[in-house]
Amino acid sequence: MNDSAIRHVEFGAGTPIVLIHGYTLDHRVLLPLEPAFADRPGWRRLYPDLPGHGTSPRLPGRTSATALADALFAWLDAELGGRPFAVVGQSFGGQLARAVTARYGEQVLGSALLVPVVRWGADRTLPEAPGVTAAEDGDELLGGLPAEDRVLFGAVMARHTRGSLDLFERYVLPGWRAHDRTAAAELEADFLLPHWPEHRAPRPHPGRHLLLTTRQDALVGWRDQLALLDHYPRMAATVLDGAGHNPQVECAETVRGVFGSWLDDLAGGSGPR
């Protein structure tokens, strides 16, 4: 595997920060975080598209969580070498970000985990009734969407409003429509890394870490993620109310506030440089 297996876009210059999207989407789902960097210079933001997502071709072999992690590690080695960097991961990308921290150790300045995958399938602890926090007339609002897109909207967004739909169409749908369906089916069948990354790390990571979850997340929940606090002695945790599985899209300003505080914590410690 080489760096050509993963395409990416980047902005800015300085200390690298790698932002990893979730399953069946692409880097655009994390772009609502960009305004947090407007008054925080010194960060080189790299947004990869995982293999089989966005503009990146699928892997030549079978797609699995382990195969995607290995492809990401190869890309990081080629792109960053031994430079210190920070990592952000959303959903499935959160699982990969945890693996990155475990593998690269103190080369990683810290991580921000947004609704990260921790458990999957029947092992997940999901809200009994995540609910919709705001709604407009469903037929009128979603009538123009294909059935598959309507299902996705209902699964990942807690606010069923025109504003929420506009954000969904801008940041979520493009990646959803671009992903490789065959690779996604393979990944769904082999979705978790064989071990929690934290269990493979030689010691708890000393960097600054952020965990952000939401009460209305119908895909990964929020309770399972709290177990991560035991593995990161300097991890701050926020549980938001009123958002679903894409909080950085659905309540971007609130998330950027929390995310910006994490960036400031990193800057007050060992980066940017």
Structural domain includes residue 73? yes
Which tens digit of pLDDT belongs to each residue from 182-202?
A: 999 999 999 999 999 999 898
Structural domain includes residue 216? yes
Residues 123-144, mean pLDDT to the nearest whole number:
78
For the entire predicted model, the pTM comes to 0.94
Structural domain includes residue 233? yes
Rounded to the nearest angstrom, the gap between the alpha carbon of residue 75 and the centroid of all alpha carbons in its chain is: 17
Which tens digit of pLDDT belongs to each residue from 107-127?
A: 999 999 999 999 999 999 999
Structural domain includes residue 239? yes
Number of domains present in the structure of the chain: 1
Residues 153-159, mean pLDDT to the nearest whole number:
91
Residues 160-185, mean pLDDT to the nearest whole number:
95
List strands edge to edge, sheet with 85-90: 7-11, 43-49, 15-20, 85-90, 108-114, 208-214, 235-240
271 — pLDDT class (breaks 50, 70, 90): very low
Which tens digit of pLDDT belongs to each residue from 12-23?
A: 999 999 999 999
Structural domain includes residue 273? no
Structural domain includes residue 224? yes
Residues 72-83, mean pLDDT to the nearest whole number:
96
Tell me: pLDDT of 234 over 80: yes
Q: State the residue range of the domain holding 138.
A: 3-268
Query: Would you tell me the crossing angle of helices 65-80 and 92-104 to the nearest 10 degrees?
Result: 50
Residues with Cβ within 8 Å of 243's Cβ and at least 6 positions away in sequence, in order, are 133, 158, 159, 214, 216, 217, 250, 251
Residue 114 dihedral angles phi and psi, to the nearest 5°: -100, 120
Instruction: State which amino acid sits at residue 233.
Output: P
* 15-20/85-90 β-pairing: parallel
216 — pLDDT class (breaks 50, 70, 90): very high
CATH number at residue 222: 3.40.50.1820
Tell me: pLDDT of 140 over 80: no
Give dist(CA 22, CA 97) in Å, integer: 11
Structural domain includes residue 147? yes
Give dist(CA 129, CA 216) in Å, integer: 8
Which tens digit of pLDDT belongs to each residue from 241-265?
A: 999 999 999 999 999 999 999 999 9
137 — pLDDT class (breaks 50, 70, 90): low
